[in-house]
Each structure stands twice: as C-alpha cells, then as structure tokens.
Structure 1
Amino acid sequence: MDKDSAGLGHRGCDHVFFIGFLGAGKTTVARNLGNMFHRSFVDVDRMVERELHESVARIFETRGEAAFRRAETRSLESLRSRQSLLVSCGGGIVEGPDNARIMHEMGSIVYLDGTLEDSLRQIRRPEKRPDLGDLEHARALYAHRRPLYEEAADYRVSISGKTFEQVAYDVAGLLWERGLL
C-alpha cells in the first residue's frame, strides 16, 4: 500500500518531488519530464541560490549548512502557492526535520534510488557538492541518508545501470499509471 492510499496523501498542490543522493539525476529527470509533458520544473538548490545570492558551495562555506537547510525549507514552503510542478530537491533535503512532511502535504515524492557508485559516477564537478567530501565521508553520508530517502518516498525508481533518459521514461511510466502526469 502506498502512502497516498493510506490516508497520508497531499491536499491542494499536486507537485512531484524528486529525492535521492547527490548525482542521482534528480534535476535531469525533472527537466526531461517537464519537457516531455509540458510541465514546469524547479530546482530547490537554484531557488536557495537565488534567495541568498550565492552558490550552494559558497553558502556552505560562508553561512554554514544550517543556514542552507533553513533556506531550503523556506524554498519548499514557497511552492505551496503553485500547481503541478516537477521539483528537483537537493540530496540533503531529507536532513531538514520538516521537509518530508512539507513535500507530502503538497504532492508525491519519488526516490531515485541507486548505489553510491551510481551517484558518484554521475558527479562531474565534485567541488560544487560541498556536503560530499572525500570518499569515506561520501560513504557515511550515503549510509545516513539512504533510510531517510526510503522513509520519505512514496515511490522508488532504480537508477542502477540506466541512462538518465531510461530513468526519465521509467519515472514517466510510473507517474502516468498513478495519474500524476
């Protein structure tokens, strides 16, 4: 039984939120689906950058992760007045104590699930990923976040061994079947 049929579904908004580890392809999948289905997509990290007038890496460096996480939650809250968005969330969105609840109130959450290696293979500019750190830190972060993603997710789509295009088609099929696209 998915969370929607268990009575935990959203009211009002009908957004689809994409969560997963760094490099899982959340932004690419949201953009591809937006183009395929003529739906608007937004990237929460870009929203935070616009609000704070700095890159994510710079925000982490100058203001700290806590300030970034607060801005991230404000960005999520700002989506309440909009409809039918495809929302790419940063890899750490599940770190915010209220973020999963906020997303569930506004829509459905799709977890792009893969191994740490799947994600690391996709990261082209690790310097833009301030919470990634070295390989040991990345392993610990992945182990910490994976159960948070699983708990938050309404749906899970595997990214292992697939191109972003294949993942987008898999997600599109799932969302279409559920009446979410």
Structure 2
Amino acid sequence: MAEKRNIFLIGPIGAGKSTIGRKLAEQLNLEFFDSDKEIEQRTGADLSWVFDVEGEDGFRYREEKVINELTKKQGIVLATGGGSVKSSKISNILSSRGIVIYLKTTIDKQLYRTYRDKKRPLLQVENTQREILTILAKERNPLYEKIANITICTDEQSVYMVANKIINILKNN
C-alpha cells in the first residue's frame, strides 16, 4: 500500500513540494517533513543566514545529514530542497529509500510563485530571477529526471489535484 512507503518530493524552487507534500501527507495519514524547515529548526536560523555564514557547501553538508536521517524513517512524505539532487549521495539515498516524485514546473510559474518570497537564498543575487532559474533548470532538471520514479507537472493543477493524482498513481503501482 502507498501508505507504508516513503514519498520523496523533488523539483525546483516554486514547484509546490512543501504545499503538495503537506496535503499528500494529510490525505495518506503520513508524517510530513520539509528538509529546509528541518535545517532551519536545527540551526535556529533561516536558510539565508546559513548560506551567508557557511556558504552553499556548508548548507549542502547540513542538508545531506538531515535527509539521510529523515529518510531512515518509515511512512513519511519529505519535501526536499531544490538543490538537494546536486549531491549524488542524497540522490542515491532518495532512490533507495522510497518513491521519488519529481514535481515539474515552468520558469514562468516559478517566477509567479516566488515573486514576493525573500527567503530563497539563490534568488537573492544580482542576476535577474529568470536568469537564475534558467541556469538552475539547465543544471538540475536532468538530475531530477534521472532519479524520479514519477514525474508530475504542477503548473495548471491545484494542490488537491496533484496530491490526488499522486495517490492514484501509487495505488495502481
């Protein structure tokens, strides 16, 4: 049954991993975790601060530890950070410990969904957000595709619709 499996959500900034993950966990009666939120709770600081003080390498080290720990649990839904798949260790952990679902979205939707969000460290640089998201998409989309068991486009669907689509796919597998 889908309820016993770990479900790991991957995808770019603004794909809906956290929002959809919460809804999915609620509908399947599973525990929900967000790796970014876990890092913030454990450090007592927001991600921007961790990035500023420790750099991306320091953040990725923390992310690796958190994801390794959380994925050892059973019956969870985990929303991962957009860049977590850059680590082959994290990719291998996700692939071996649960079902990996790639929530795919367009750059236009990402821009719309993150327009007012000031908490995303990689979007707080001098390039335009579209340029940054395009660079990240070229780097990360192939990594998402490589480890995904299931790919779902979230662009024109409600959170409820995406969650139900995932549940139906899992029940039929």
What TM-score, normalized to structure 2?
A: 0.89
Residue 154 in 1 paired to residue 149 in 2? yes
Residue 167 in 1 paired to residue 162 in 2? yes
2:40 matched residue in structure 1? 49
1:26 matched residue in structure 2? 17
1:137 matched residue in structure 2? 132
Checking the alignment, whether the CA contact within 8 Å between 1:118 and 1:159 is kept in structure 2 is: no
Deviation at 1:118, TM superposition (A): 1.9
Q: Which runs of 5+ in 2 are unaligned?
A: none
Distance in structure 2 (CA, Å) of the matches to 1:118 and 1:169: 21
Deviation at 1:141, TM superposition (A): 1.1
Alignment RMSD, CA only? 1.6
More deviation, 71-80/127-136: 127-136
Checking the alignment, whether the CA contact within 8 Å between 1:42 and 1:86 is kept in structure 2 is: yes
More deviation, 163-172/62-71: 163-172
Checking the alignment, whether the CA contact within 8 Å between 2:6 and 2:71 is kept in structure 1 is: no
Distance in structure 1 (CA, Å) of the matches to 2:110 and 2:172: 27
1:89 matched residue in structure 2? 80
Distance in structure 2 (CA, Å) of the matches to 1:125 and 1:109: 29
Distance in structure 2 (CA, Å) of the matches to 1:164 and 1:81: 27
Matching residue within 31, 36, 42 for 2:27: 36
Change (3 A) 1:81 1:152: closer
User: How much identity, in percent, do the aligned residues show?
Assistant: 29
- Please state whether the residue corresponding to 1:63 is helix, strand or coil: helix
Checking the alignment, whether the CA contact within 8 Å between 2:103 and 2:154 is kept in structure 1 is: yes
Checking the alignment, whether the CA contact within 8 Å between 1:16 and 1:86 is kept in structure 2 is: yes
Aligned residues: 166
Q: Which runs of 5+ in 1 are unaligned?
A: 1-12
Distance in structure 2 (CA, Å) of the matches to 1:110 and 1:80: 14
- Please state whether the residue corresponding to 1:42 is helix, strand or coil: strand
- Please state whether the residue corresponding to 1:126 is helix, strand or coil: coil
Matching residue within 66, 88, 113 for 1:122: 113
- Please state whether the residue corresponding to 1:91 is helix, strand or coil: coil
Change (3 A) 1:173 1:130: same
